[in-house]
Amino acid sequence: MPPTADPDEAGGDRRRLIGLIVGAVAAALIVVLLVVGLMNRGMSTTIDDALETGSRPPTPALTLPVLVSGPGLPPVGQDASLSDLKGTVVVLNLWASWCDPCKEESPVLERLWRANRDRGVVVLGVDIQDLSSDALAFIREYGLTYPSLRDGTDDAKSALEATGVPETYVIDRTGRIALHVAGPVGSAAQLQGTINRVLAGK
Amino acid sequence: MAGPALSLTVNEVAREVRCPTCNTPLDVSNSPAADRMKLFIADRIANGDDKQEIIDALVVEFGRGVLATPPKSGFDLVAWIVPIVLVVGGLAAIPFATRAWARRRGGASAPEIAPEDAARLDEELRRRDA
């Protein structure tokens, strides 16, 4: 093929421009997808941001099957909604049977539950990323009497913007988060102050 | 784990599902949650369950998101069809694209000759035919 013909300069420029626009749109789409993906992976920190400014963010709507029932909750296997517990102070604890800090933390939560259950407080475990048989064995082994829900699909973890287990939230009677503890609760005193405050309607 | 030589292995099941804490295929995951799931699979195999029964049990526990590959039915078919359509479409576009490139480089058009050469060629052809 002899290299004789001159390329059509104007046509070439137009084609290059179209190529550039198509490329830019494709790149922008990929960036938008990445951002949306990251936001849906619970990378946002709106709960902690709100708590830091002194406000109480609303608890996200969550409906999960009951693993171990308790006051205000439907029987085992049925779905419970967090909104059903409005009017009660909820100490919500994300946990898993394979999580070592959860093993040290669970007696603390059990003590809190026994000390506060007659005061309109419920300690509510939410078992995540776990096999239900393992979860039930854990509850038996550590003699836990507070109720637990089961979340097999990470709904609670992403809605509550948790990064792992354990994480604990104190939710006031109106369904707003008053305290978030990322990592294990070391002592009952760490939560009791907040529980007393929200019980007093403060 | 004892069993007959040709029995199902844990990894054969594990590669079909995802580790919920690490988002990698279970057979290459080593998190505590992954270890528990492998034990669950081993127990089920010892129990005589087949691969699909074990995978179904894991879906009951963790939802369809636990599957390493999307199921080939319903909306999830999109994940299988879109790549195939893109590859076939890309292959089909090659002849068109190469033709367009060849045209842009001028390969298809004959080289032009100067008017005096054309006149001379016509003249010589006429003389030859006469």
Contact A93, A109 (CB under 8 A): yes
**Mutation site for A-interface testing, chosen from B17, B18, B19, B21 by largest number of A Cβ within 10 Å:** B21
Please check the confidence at residue A89 and state whether its pLDDT lies above 90. Answer: yes
Contact A106, A139 (CB under 8 A): no
Q: How far apart are CA A150 and CA A74, in angstroms?
A: 13
Please check the confidence at residue A170 and state whether its pLDDT lies above 80. Answer: yes
Partner residue opposite B20 with nearest CB, options A6, A12, A154:
A154
| pLDDT category of residue A44 using cuts at 50, 70 and 90 | low
Please check the confidence at residue B106 and state whether its pLDDT lies above 80. Answer: no
Which residue blocks in B1-130 are alpha helix, DSSP H? 10-14, 32-46, 51-62, 78-104, 115-129
Chain B 65-104, residues with CB within 8 Å of chain A CB atoms: 65, 104
pLDDT score for B2: 47
Query: What is chain B's mean pLDDT, rounded?
Result: 87
**Mutation site for B-interface testing, chosen from A129, A133, A155 by largest number of B Cβ within 10 Å:** A129
pLDDT score for B5: 45
Please check the confidence at residue A110 and state whether its pLDDT lies above 50. Answer: yes
Q: Which residue of A has its CA nearest to B33?
A: A98
The burial of B5, by beta-carbon neighbours within 10 Å (0-12 exposed, 13-18 middle, 19 or more buried), is given as exposed
Contact A132, B61 (CB under 8 A): yes
Please check the confidence at residue B4 and state whether its pLDDT lies above 60. Answer: no
| Nearest residue to A102 via CA among B24, B26, B32, B34 | B32
How many Cβ pairs within 8 Å bridge chains A and B? 48
Is A97 in CB contact (< 8 Å) with chain B? yes
Does the pTM exceed 0.80? no
Contacts of A102-109 with C-beta under 8 Å, sequence gap 24+, read A102/A138, A102/A165, A102/A166, A102/A184, A103/A138, A103/A142, A104/A184, A105/A166, A105/A184, A105/A185, A105/A186, A106/A138, A106/A142, A106/A144, A107/A142, A108/A185, A108/A186, A108/A187, A108/A188, A109/A144, A109/A146, A109/A168, A109/A185
| pLDDT category of residue B67 using cuts at 50, 70 and 90 | very high
Please check the confidence at residue A1 and state whether its pLDDT lies above 60. Answer: no
- Cβ pair A8:B65 closer than 8 A: no
What is the nearest CA distance from A116 to chain B, expressed in angstroms? 32
pLDDT (tens digit per residue) in B36-65: 999 999 999 999 999 999 999 999 999 988
Sign of CA dihedral A74, A79, A84, A88: positive
- Cβ pair A7:B33 closer than 8 A: no
ipTM of the complex: 0.73
| pLDDT category of residue A68 using cuts at 50, 70 and 90 | very high
Which tokens sit at A170? 């104190």
Cβ neighbours for A122, distance < 8 A, ≥ 6 positions apart: A70, A71, A72, A85, A88, A89, A90, A91, A113, A146, A147
